[in-house]
Amino acid sequence: FTKTGFNSNLAKAFINYKAYEYLVRQQDIDKRYFTSMESLVKIEKNNYCILALLKYYSSLEELDDDRIKFIHRFTLEYINNGIVFSFFKEFIKYIPMPFDFVYKTPVEFASEPSNTITISYCYLDKDTPIEEVNYINEEMKHVFAGVFSKQFLLFYNNKLNYSIVVEKPDGSIQTTEEKTIELSQDMELNDQNLYNKINLLKLALDSKDSKTFIESYDKIIKTDYIVSKAFKPL
């Protein structure tokens, strides 16, 4: 690649395939391929390589200014176009992210783009009786190159139980084992937004901390009042 550049369609196709292996198939690739991808995206916009690079950058402990600028440019562009990957959350410490993305938990599943992917899920609180559990079935969005995704808003001590149903064009169906996602006390909380205010309220209620409960409840009421005054119906 260093001798011929990227004039060869075969060279581009090979780099694209390595990006696909890394991004979609979750396969490790030689780090030298990322250097080739960085060279290619300077010449042309290549979504496979850009997304593979973003995933690679999300795994690094430190990033230089050029890579942060790259993240800022493309991550927000993809989010605005509905192309959302869970590893984007690693960039919150570098760039401002939309609220709707930051506080949602994504579930991703890789399959053939021609398949129909449905997620069967239910929300559980710690005290939810099993007989009251109702499962919801929703088709997952095809995000990119066989990656399907759906985002969920979870609150403190919420659990999300889910399984994935894969329907192939020939009508055959496969179902994955059920998995669970949970937000716990390990999550970082503050009272800077309504989402965290509600989580603090639930945490205080669970731990029987009446002082924090009253403070959190008061802040939620004040926020609701301010919003109602600032945004009146037209």
Residue of 52, 107, 104, 100 lying closest to 74 (CA atoms): 52
Q: What angle do CA 25, 178, 84 make, to 5 degrees?
A: 45
pTM listed for this prediction: 0.76
Q: What is the pLDDT of residue 75?
A: 96
Model confidence pLDDT, tens digit, residues 125-177: 766 666 678 899 999 999 999 999 999 988 777 789 999 999 999 999 999 99
Instruction: Give the mean pLDDT of 66-78.
Output: 96
CATH no. for 103-182: 2.60.40.10
Q: What is the pLDDT of residue 60?
A: 96
Count other C-beta atoms under 10 Å from residue 140's C-beta. Answer: 19
- The residues with which 164 forms a beta bridge, in sequence order, are 119
3-state secondary structure of 14: helix
pLDDT category, 234, cuts 50, 70, 90? very low
pLDDT category, 185, cuts 50, 70, 90? very low
pLDDT category, 201, cuts 50, 70, 90? low
Q: What is the pLDDT of residue 203?
A: 59
Asked whether residue 188 carries a pLDDT value surpassing 80, the answer given is: no
Model confidence pLDDT, tens digit, residues 58-70: 999 999 999 999 9
Residue of 76, 198, 221, 100 lying closest to 153 (CA atoms): 100
Model confidence pLDDT, tens digit, residues 210-226: 554 455 445 544 444 33
The residue that leads in pLDDT, 188 or 131, is 131
Count other C-beta atoms under 10 Å from residue 171's C-beta. Answer: 6
The residue that leads in pLDDT, 104 or 128, is 104
Domain ranges of the chain: 9-97, 103-182, 194-230
Model confidence pLDDT, tens digit, residues 23-55: 999 999 999 999 999 999 999 999 999 999 999
**Which two tokens mark 75?**
């991550």
